[in-house]
Amino acid sequence: NFILFSLRSLSYVKMLALQIYNLHRSPYFWDSPNEFEPERFTVPKKDENIEGWAGFDPDRSPGAMYPNEIIADFAFLPFGGGPRKCVGDQFALLESTVALALLLQKFDVELRGSPDEVEMVTGATIHTKNGLWCRLRKRT
Ligand code: HEM
């Protein structure tokens, strides 16, 4: 609401920084926002209490490779949105799927330590503090 208010009323705004991490974990838009629940992206969601938000609707972009900003009405935008949206979104998804499939065909992967020990560092991008140490076992 603050962002919508700012955009409407402050015509002199030259740069607007959006906290995408917070947007993607906002309890206003998402139920259990910190849980890994990819199936949430198959279900339409409408919240009448959020003024100006058209809700989450997979039917808005049939055949989309991922829950994009059109489906989420800009509440979920991993590759940005609008005229300067990432041009490599579909390539990135295909490439990472192929890379993961090739790896998992050959190895079983097990996290070393507990997930709670994997700390996060934010900067231009978000990454792990000390890497994501895993044990690989060659599959027989
Ligand atoms: C998981 C991988 C990737 C993520 C998360 C990602 C994310 C993003 C984001 C958030 C933006 C800014 C969009 C905006 O301003 O609204 C962007 C821009 C861009 N991305 Fe990606 N990207 C990825 C992979 C790639 C790949 C593989 C390519 C090229 C093959 C690519 C090429 C570009 C280019 C050229 C822009 C600038 C577009 C413009 O300013 O007109 N990206 N990306």
Q: Does one domain contain both 63 and 112? A: no
75 lies in the same domain as 92 = no
Range from 4-8, 55-59, 90-94, 125-129 carrying the lowest mean pLDDT: 4-8
Closest C-alpha to ligand 1, atom 18: 86
The boundaries of the domain holding residue 134 are 87-140
Nearest atom in ligand 1 to 80's CA: 16
User: Per-residue pLDDT averaged across 59-65, rounded?
Assistant: 94
CA of residue 112 to ligand 1 center, whole Å: 31
Residues 134 and 96 placed together within one structural domain of the fold: yes
Last residue of a domain, one of 38, 54, 80: 80
Of 32, 62, 80, the residue that ends a domain is 80
Mean pLDDT of the region 72-99: 96
Q: Which residues contact 47 (CB under 8 A, 6 or more apart)?
A: 28, 29, 53, 55
Residues 67 and 1 in one domain: yes
Q: Are 133 and 113 within one domain?
A: yes
Residues with a CB atom less than 6 Å from ligand 1 = 78-82, 84-88, 91-92
State whether 1 and 25 are in the same domain: yes
What's the number of domains the chain is made of? 2
**Measured distance CA(123)–CA(28) in Å, rounded:** 25
Q: Which two tokens stand for residue 25?
A: 């974990």
The CA distances from residue 27 to 1, 32, 107, in Å, are 14, 7, 37
Same domain, 91 and 54: no
Residues 5 and 72 in one domain: yes
pTM comes to 0.86
> CA torsion angle for 91, 97, 103, 109 (degrees, to 10)?
130
42 shares its domain with 105: no
Distance of CA 130 to the CA centre of its chain: 22
86 is in an annotated binding site: yes
- pLDDT tens-digit map of 9-25: 666 667 777 889 999 99
Same domain, 3 and 68: yes
Specify the range with the lowest mean pLDDT, choosing from 28-32, 123-127, 128-132, 135-139.
123-127
